[in-house]
Amino acid sequence: MKNRLHVAAVAALLAGLAGDTRAQVGAPFIHDPSTIAECDGKYYTFGTGEGGLWSADGWTWQGGAVRPGRGAAPDVLKIGGRYLVAYSATGGGLGGSHRGEVLTMWNSTLDPASPDFRYTEPVVVASSLDDEDCDAIDAGLLLDPTTGRLWLSYGTYFGFIRLVELDPATGRRVPGNEPVNIAIDCEATDLVYRDGWYYLFGTHGTCCDGPNSTYNIVVGRSRSVTGPYLDKVGRDMLQGGGRMVIAANNLKTGPGHFGRFVVEDGVEKMSFHYESDFRQGGRSVLAIRPLLWRDGWPVAGEEFREGTYEIESERRGYALELAVDFVRMERDIEPFWTKPSWPLKDVRPQTLAEVEPGWPAGEVRVRMSDYMFRPNQKWTVTAAGKGGYLGGPYYKIAIEGTDRCLTATAQGDVVARPEFAGGDDQLWRIDQLTDGTYRIMPRRAPGTDRPLALVSLGDSTPGLAPFDFDSDNAKWNFRQQ
């Protein structure tokens, strides 16, 4: 009972956090999730114990993924047309024992409903004994894109993190390959290669204690897959180094078990679990956040929140606005060249009620201009309740206080229509990009199956075009109002 939260206190705290969002929706309850894998248009992740989660869109998750063998902390990796799954049997220093095994097995599909769904018999690729200074647990897989070699990291904070090489054709240990020690004081490792660097992500802290879990994710990098892995200030992860990637935040504690998912150039996601989500009964839940890169280091992106924003083009800094006539404000002030002769008072900002009666009743063009916090420049972004994509829901974007919704057209333009009909042309995907800016895309633009993004066609003209990460025209910022 001592670990139970006071219900009234938590309810009051949650009530004060308007605009916050959950990690995922549905039933995203999992511990030690694998890197997310995509198979035939669906997403899968496996956890400790048997099975895992799957999602048709990457936002709403449910149980039903199948992984035999039970055990702990699996990982999954697609190699060619097959999926390699690695998982651990026992280990983890539990009950004072360091004895454990890491096993691998294959499947041609992750969909249990497929007639081709059939796992191969697991084979042992790493092991540890009771008196060893390493636990064979918490598998992490990397297929090196530069060499085609396959690597497995494993271990916990009870000893060393070790690295062994596997055969990418069989999933078995390369004969004669000896483990290499690459880190200490962490567990649940994962390896990533990017731009000439190997990154070792590890989970630091304590787990399995709900809201008291101190899990956090740290990282080091190396030019060689075998290390040394150093953090940003030069500390070796073999000496306990590691730069923080993400810790507890937004009423969720204990982030651990990092996985990377590259959606496309400039759009990356990081998956992990929170040991305790205060909004979901303190349960361990799957989380997906944008993965950013700054000066060659990974950074956890923002969990996008509903709210009212200025939507600003990265290209020039102009704001998206409803194309209506500029309405002058009352100017009851003294000339600037004179000293004030009466007490100063606040100038009240222009309100929607003062200007909306003069706006056209129907569809209105959208343009860009310098921001002046006028009503036609403030956009309220809310989850539409119409499904989602990997890591987020589709959003409705409307002028604050109205139902005038941003809408994609068949002509490649964007307009504001007077009502929200809930169609694909009014459902917007918002992805934080690896540089911290945002991509805004309609679920589907009318008349085409091509994915199009909101772009700046010029200083004042927004439109729709294929996304190009190398162009600032396709990048936006959200400024909270």
Assess contact for 286 and 30: CB atoms under 8 A.
yes
The SS3 assignment for 380 reads: strand
Residue 106: name the closest of 74, 61, 76 by CA: 76
Q: In angstroms, how far apart are the furthest CA atoms of the chain?
A: 90
Annotate 412-431 with DSSP letters as a single string: S-EEEESS----GGG-EEEE
Q: If you count DSSP H runs as helices and E runs as strands, how many of each does the chain have, helices first? A: 2, 33
HSE-CB at 415 with a 13 A cutoff on CA atoms is 16
Assess contact for 362 and 321: CB atoms under 8 A.
no
Amino acid in position 446? P
d(CA 416, CA 428): 13
8-state DSSP, 15 = H
Strand runs labelled E in 68-160: 72-79, 82-90, 100-107, 123-128, 140-143, 150-154
Q: Is 424 a catalytic residue?
A: no
Compute φ and ψ for 193, nearest 5 degrees.
Answer: -110, 135
Note the residue count of the chain: 481
Location of structure tokens 């057209």: 409
Catalytic residue among 101, 135, 185, 187: 187
Q: Is 295 a catalytic residue?
A: no
d(CA 219, CA 381): 33
The SS3 assignment for 260 reads: strand
Assess contact for 248 and 201: CB atoms under 8 A.
no
Assess contact for 465 and 408: CB atoms under 8 A.
no
Assess contact for 145 and 108: CB atoms under 8 A.
no
Assess contact for 135 and 128: CB atoms under 8 A.
yes
Residue 407: name the closest of 322, 472, 469 by CA: 322
Residues marked active site are found at 32, 187
